[in-house]
Each structure stands twice: as C-alpha cells, then as structure tokens.
Amino acid sequence: MKYSAIIERDADKRKKLIGKIIGKKSARHDGGQALILVPEKHILDACAGMGTIFHAGLKISEKKDIWKKVASGEIQTIIGTQKALFLPYKNLATIVVDEEQHESYKLWDQYPRLHTVRGAQQLAAIHKAEIIYASSYPSIALRHAIQTGACTMLHNRPIALLPKVIQFSFEDRKWKRAVPDEASHAIRTWARKGLRVLVLHNKKDSVSVRDAITRRLGKQAAKNIYIGTTALLSDPLVADADRVVWLFPEFTMRTYDFRASERARILAARLQNITPKSSLLIATRHMDVSKATFESSEEVWTSVVLEERSRLHLSPFADLVRLTVIDKDDKKSRARAITVREILDEALNKNPACKVYGPFQEYKAKTKKKMHEYHLLLAGPLNTLVDIYKDVPVDSADVDPHRIV
C-alpha cells in the first residue's frame, strides 16, 4: 500500500493540490473513484465544489441515491465524514484523509469506537487504493512515517507557530487575578481598536475570566471579544478573528495522557492558523510546561516526543488496545482485571515484542449506574494483539483509545 503526504497550512491551496492529484491518479486508474475524508461535518460546506458530499445528516432518499451512484461508478469523488467509509465503491483508487491530525477522527463517545484513519487504511487495503494524508500541521505519527521513509512527502508548508507566552506576575498572584494583567490589557486594547479577539478558555464557566477581560471596557468594544471553548472553532465568525488568545493551555497539557503535549500543540496550530501573521498569545500559570510545549522548535519537540514514546513502547512505535472489565462491585471488577493480566502475561511470554500495562482506572472516570471499570493497555503489532486478546474474558476492547488513563 502506498502512502503520501500533503502538508499545506492554507485550506484553499490544500484543496487545489488534492484536486490536482486526484485528477492525475483517476486518469491513470481508468476513471477510478476518490474518497476525501474530513474530521467534522461543518468542514464539508467548504468542499462542495470538489465532489458529492455524504454524511449521516442526509435524508434517507439522498443516501440511497448516492449509494446506488457510488456502486455503479457514476459518482467519481465522495467527500464525507466517517460514514463515507461504508459506501459500496466500484473502483476506489485514492483515499485522502484531510487534517489527519484531528482527534475528531476517533469516536470516543459511542460504539463501535472506530478510528476513521485506521478504517481508511483497511478500506485502501481492500481496494488496493493509495492513501494521501493531508494536513495543515502533521501529527507525530505522520512525522515519524515521513522520517522513516514509510510515507512520501508531496508538498511541505505547515503552519508556523508564533507563540507569545505570558505567565502570572507576582502582582497577578497577589491580587488573585483570573487572567494575567498583561494579557487582559492586550485584549482590551485590541477590542478598543475594533479588532475581533477570540479568547479560548476550555472551561464552561468563564464568568470570572470575562469579568477580568472586559473590566472598564465599553459595551461596543466588549462585543469584539469572543470567549468560549473549542466548540467556538466550528463557528464561521471565528475565521474572521483578528487576534487569538489561549488561556491556560495547561488544562489540555496536564491531562493524564501521553498525547497531551501533541494535542496541545495541534490545537495551538489550529488557533495560529486563524491569524497566521500575528502572534498567538498564550496565558499560563505553568510557564515551564508551556514554554517546553510551545516555544521548542518543530525539530526539537518532535525528537523529544518520539524518543519518549519509543522508550515507553507507545504509538507510533506500537499499536495500542485498551481492554476493559466492568462490574457493579469494585472488588470483583479489580479481581477480574487481575485475572486478565495473568492470562495476558502468560500469552506475552511467547510474544516479547508486545507489552501490557495495568490494571488501572481512568482518572476521574464518569461511568453510568455506578459501574466500576478497570483497564489494561496492550502495546504491539495489532494483528498479534488481536490473537492475544480475542479469547480473553473482557467486556470491551478499544483500538487506538481516545484516552489511556
């Protein structure tokens, strides 16, 4: 199976590059079909001119019509979300995974918890199609594939991070300010000049933050400030922001997951791309963590993350599967998990390339009906892992889990 990558920060230019490549490949494959996957439904509107759009929100009659035309080969290019993976392609030649770094590709709140990128890989294997990963800011997995030669680079112009990190001063801490005075002053100054300011604050309760930012600010100027969570990023108004501020990225970076740094950096790139020529203002209470994550060069940061993951036997150096046991009684659930660990340890004696971690419980887990969950993490080649856990008495198995702990 062939892999290639298009790294382009400008969404319109990336679409043009994808269109040209699909056109050339279709010509070589006697009119072969193309599938372009996007991570979120709201992105589809901007792709309307590239082909037929397919997603779960269409009417049943529309879905049936598209299904028949894809099966007959009448439709050549499909642009869609995860549901587009399951259409009956007649002659699929190319699959494009746009914004491959986006974590929305992984279903985490419903079953089956399919990862769209892995689904695309399996679909490509079935049809002997080529996969193109397109991105504005590549994931660690794609960077590693490019470095090792597993993926061919076709175009390389990623988002350039321009972070300006501000910490709480002594005075800020003394007066218990909700936002560093330097940051709130900058936001008010921009708003008074008529500039639209996006303030990302990944907490639902932003009253104290809003009060601190809009203090002594007129009503008209205050309307230029948009404060909200990442849900704001799907709002078309955000694309017109003149300045972007991220408050307290440590809420993202200090989650108990080995991918926290990568997720924070990808989110920073997404924010930076709204105003690519202006600095991304980052206000933090943890200067050391923020500087290491955002102010390191791409080369240094990538090298550090890959070295750490290689040492711990984590993705992209191994596939990951999270096994879960569930019981109403905590002691019974833990006992079952320990039994599963013993079974896995015995199986892994014959497979030294695989590792198992746990059992453990998810940090601040929210479970229904007071159920107690214990998890074990398997790491290694996926085909080998499936053979190991397929007969093990667990309640669920999650490939490429959204969260580890």
Amino acid at 385: L
Burial class of residue 222 (count of CB atoms within 10 Å of its CB; 0-12, 13-18, 19+): middle
List pLDDT tens digits, range 383-397: 999 999 999 999 999
Q: Which residue has the higher pLDDT, 106 or 48?
A: 106
Give mean pLDDT, residues 171-191: 95
pLDDT-derived band of residue 21, with 50, 70 and 90 as boundaries? confident
pLDDT score of 135 more than 90: yes
Are domains 3-157 and 319-399 of this chain identical in fold? no
pLDDT score of 19 more than 70: yes
Q: Find where tokens 């035309």 sit.
A: 69
pLDDT at residue number 29: 55
pLDDT score of 140 more than 90: yes
Q: Which residue has the higher pLDDT, 176 or 257?
A: 176
% of the chain exceeding 70 in pLDDT = 94
Omega before 112 cis (within 30°)? Answer: yes
Give mean pLDDT, residues 209-231: 91
List pLDDT tens digits, range 328-378: 999 999 999 999 999 999 999 988 889 999 999 876 555 556 789 999 999
pLDDT at residue number 42: 84
pLDDT at residue number 387: 93
pLDDT-derived band of residue 252, with 50, 70 and 90 as boundaries? confident
CATH number of 319-399: 3.30.70.600
- How far is residue 135's CA from residue 153's CA, in Å, rounded to a whole number? 11
pLDDT score of 258 more than 70: yes
Domain boundaries, the chain: 3-157, 163-310, 319-399
The closest alpha carbon to 115, from 187, 167, 43, 37, belongs to 37
Element (H, E) at 144: helix 140-148
pLDDT at residue number 239: 81
Give mean pLDDT, residues 139-157: 95
pLDDT score of 191 more than 80: yes
The pair of structure tokens assigned to 78 is 């499909």
pLDDT score of 167 more than 70: yes
**pTM exceeds 0.95, yes or no:** no
pLDDT-derived band of residue 156, with 50, 70 and 90 as boundaries? very high
- How far is residue 344's CA from residue 384's CA, in Å, rounded to a whole number? 12
**Regarding the domain delimited by 163-310, which CATH topology (the fold level of the hierarchy) does it fall under?**
Rossmann fold (3.40.50)
pLDDT-derived band of residue 22, with 50, 70 and 90 as boundaries? confident
- How far is residue 222's CA from residue 30's CA, in Å, rounded to a whole number? 57
The closest alpha carbon to 23, from 63, 51, 64, 42, belongs to 51
CATH number of 3-157: 3.40.50.300
Mean of all residue pLDDT scores within the chain: 90
